[in-house]
């Protein structure tokens, strides 16, 4: 059994064709994996074997190695091994290159086509989310492209580019960004009410009555709990407890500085009619850590840690605590449950 890492020409000599009467069956199965789906191939012993039918050899191909192998087939057998879909795709590519503007217009005019494009984009963003969470080297590369240091700017930029994750994931109400330009806003001192205390993401609910929603990002790498205080009782980490206090302080200062409601202003300073956002005990979220940190040394669930963490966050009125992997799971569900992107706000 092996995961195929590379497909290259063979340097072996004296390889001969196998006999047809000694041939074996090959079954395939598509497997999910962190770095993308795998095609698993299993061969079964020849019918001449006395023992019952069982798997003999297996190989697994990812997208890259599958393309390499497909290239070998095409080079050897030509278009005779191409599927009808392959041939049709070739014709479409040729037609697109001839008149790309016409294809763009067809997609623009077709709601279904726009949904397909949008959903494909969201699937790519979920893959990117997963890599940011699990691939330290990839996260470091993303961090180097940010103007600010630390983990929070990476997550701020990612969620600014993908507002749909917050929009349909956090609450029963639809959440939209306060500003079209950026999620992070100054909400106390010289602030949005008149530009201090910053919140990592400032959102508001959609509907007739709109309310502000605050989100604070912390690192996804630190443990949620740090030590056992008493038997079976684990203490929140400084990042977790500090994030809770920070989120509470941010909301308190915003309410003191802004009041119960915020009137939106036009570019000339005049009121925008009917555009009022309320701060009546606004919802607050703290996104921090990873539930994987609640496993034991052997990799299994640590029940005391899970109990301590769940009881701690369930007793909090504000902020509501979410982990990054929980947010990823919601985004994955959205793109794999055949929900049309037109059903959710961009």
Does residue 291 carry a pLDDT above 70? yes
Strand partners, 301: 295
pTM: 0.58
Does residue 306 carry a pLDDT above 90? yes
Q: What is the mean pLDDT of residues 143-172?
A: 79
- Cα–Cα distance measured from residue 254 to residue 120, given in angstroms and rounded to the nearest whole number: 38
Decide if 149 is inside a domain.
yes
Decide if 18 is inside a domain.
no
- Cα–Cα distance measured from residue 165 to residue 334, given in angstroms and rounded to the nearest whole number: 9
pLDDT of residue 156: 84
Please give the residue that has the higher pLDDT: either 213 or 226: 226
- If we measure between CA atoms, which residue out of 126, 8, 3, 131 comes closest to residue 62? 3
Provide the pLDDT confidence category of residue 239 given band limits of 50, 70 and 90: very high
Judge if 223 and 271 occupy the same domain: yes
- Cα–Cα distance measured from residue 251 to residue 319, given in angstroms and rounded to the nearest whole number: 10
Judge if 138 and 287 occupy the same domain: yes
Q: How big is the CA angle at 292 (ends 290 and 297), to the nearest 5 degrees?
A: 140
pLDDT of residue 81: 62
Judge if 258 and 117 occupy the same domain: yes
pLDDT of residue 345: 43
pLDDT of residue 189: 42
Which of 220-224, 238-242, 295-299 shows the highest mean pLDDT? 238-242
Percent residues over pLDDT 70 in the chain: 75
Does residue 194 carry a pLDDT above 50? no
Average pLDDT, the chain: 78
Percent residues over pLDDT 90 in the chain: 22
Decide if 78 is inside a domain.
yes
Q: What is the mean pLDDT of residues 159-184?
A: 62
- Cα–Cα distance measured from residue 65 to residue 260, given in angstroms and rounded to the nearest whole number: 59
Decide if 222 is inside a domain.
yes
Judge if 270 and 148 occupy the same domain: yes
What are the CA-CA distances from residue 123 to residues 39, 95, 119, 134 (Å)? 19, 26, 6, 17
Provide the pLDDT confidence category of residue 86 given band limits of 50, 70 and 90: low
pLDDT of residue 122: 85
pLDDT of residue 41: 92
Q: How big is the CA angle at 1 (ends 336 and 62), to the nearest 5 degrees?
A: 35
Judge if 185 and 72 occupy the same domain: no
- Spatial contact of 164 and 122, defined as CB atoms under 8 Å apart: yes
Please give the residue that has the higher pLDDT: either 275 or 184: 275
pLDDT of residue 240: 95
Provide the pLDDT confidence category of residue 199 given band limits of 50, 70 and 90: low
Decide if 16 is inside a domain.
no
- Spatial contact of 31 and 40, defined as CB atoms under 8 Å apart: yes
Residues 6+ apart with CB under 8 A from 85: none
Decide if 166 is inside a domain.
yes
- Cα–Cα distance measured from residue 114 to residue 104, given in angstroms and rounded to the nearest whole number: 10
Lowest mean pLDDT among 177-181, 262-266, 331-335: 177-181
Query: Is the previous residue joined to 335 through a cis bond, with omega within 30 degrees of 0?
Result: no
Decide if 207 is inside a domain.
yes
Judge if 127 and 203 occupy the same domain: yes
Query: pLDDT tens, 57-77?
Result: 899 999 889 888 888 887 887
Judge if 210 and 339 occupy the same domain: yes
pLDDT of residue 110: 62
Residues 6+ apart with CB under 8 A from 205: 171, 173, 174, 175, 176, 211, 213
Q: How is residue 293 written in tokens?
A: 């940190």
Judge if 189 and 41 occupy the same domain: no
Strand partners, 199: 185
pLDDT of residue 183: 45
Residues 6+ apart with CB under 8 A from 43: 24, 25, 26, 55, 56, 57, 58
pLDDT of residue 312: 95
b/e map of 93-107 (b: 16 or more CB within 10 Å)?
Answer: eeeeeeeeeeeeeee
Kindly state the DSSP code that residue 327 receives in the 8-state scheme: H
Does residue 180 carry a pLDDT above 60? no
Q: In which domain, by residue range, is 37 found?
A: 2-7+24-45+54-97
Q: What is the mean pLDDT of residues 204-209?
A: 70
Q: Structural domain tally of the chain?
A: 2
Judge if 145 and 261 occupy the same domain: yes
Judge if 176 and 277 occupy the same domain: yes
Please give the residue that has the higher pLDDT: either 46 or 320: 320
Residues 6+ apart with CB under 8 A from 59: 1, 2, 3, 4, 40, 41
Provide the pLDDT confidence category of residue 89 given band limits of 50, 70 and 90: low
Judge if 93 and 191 occupy the same domain: no
Decide if 19 is inside a domain.
no
Task: Indicate the pairing of strand 185-188 with strand 197-199.
Answer: antiparallel
Judge if 72 and 179 occupy the same domain: no
pLDDT of residue 278: 80
Transcribe 21-75 into DSSP letters. Answer: GG---EEEEEE--TTS-EEEEEEE--TT-SSPP-EEEEEEE-HHHHHHHHHHHHH
């Amino acid at each position: 059994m092996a995961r195929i890492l590379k497909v290259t020409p063979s340097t072996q000599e004296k390889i001969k064709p196998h006999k047809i009467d000694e041939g074996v069956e090959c079954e395939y199965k598509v497997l999910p994996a962190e770095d993308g789906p795998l095609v698993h191939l299993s061969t079964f012993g020849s019918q001449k074997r006395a023992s019952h039918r069982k798997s003999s050899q297996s190989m697994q191909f990812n997208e890259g190695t599958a393309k390499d192998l497909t290239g070998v087939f095409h080079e050897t057998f030509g278009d005779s091994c191409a599927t009808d879909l392959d041939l049709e795709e070739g014709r479409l590519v040729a037609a697109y290159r001839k008149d790309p503007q016409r294809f763009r217009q067809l997609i623009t005019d077709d709601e279904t086509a726009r949904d397909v494009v949008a959903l494909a984009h969201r699937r790519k963003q979920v893959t990117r989310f997963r890599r940011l969470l699990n691939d330290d080297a990839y996260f470091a590369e993303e961090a180097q492209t940010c103007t600010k240091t630390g983990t929070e700017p990476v997550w701020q930029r990612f969620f600014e580019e993908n507002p749909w994750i917050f929009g349909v994931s956090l609450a029963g109400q639809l959440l939209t960004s306060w500003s079209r330009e950026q999620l992070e806003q100054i909400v106390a001192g010289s602030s949005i009410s008149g530009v201090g205390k910053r919140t990592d993401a400032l959102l508001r609910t959609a509907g007739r009555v709109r309310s502000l929603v605050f989100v604070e990002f912390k690192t996804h790498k630190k443990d949620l709990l740090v030590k056992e205080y008493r038997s079976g009782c684990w203490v929140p980490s400084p990042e977790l407890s500090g994030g809770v206090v920070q989120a509470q302080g941010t909301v308190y200062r915003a309410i003191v500085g802004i009041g119960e409601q915020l009137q939106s202003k036009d570019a000339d300073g005049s009121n925008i009619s009917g555009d009022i956002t309320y701060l009546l005990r606004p919802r607050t979220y703290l996104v921090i850590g990873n539930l994987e940190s609640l496993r034991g040394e052997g990799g299994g669930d640590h029940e005391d840690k899970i109990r301590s963490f769940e009881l701690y966050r369930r007793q909090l009125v504000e902020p509501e605590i979410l982990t990054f992997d929980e947010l990823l799971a919601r985004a994955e569900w959205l793109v794999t449950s055949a929900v049309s992107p037109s059903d959710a706000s961009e």
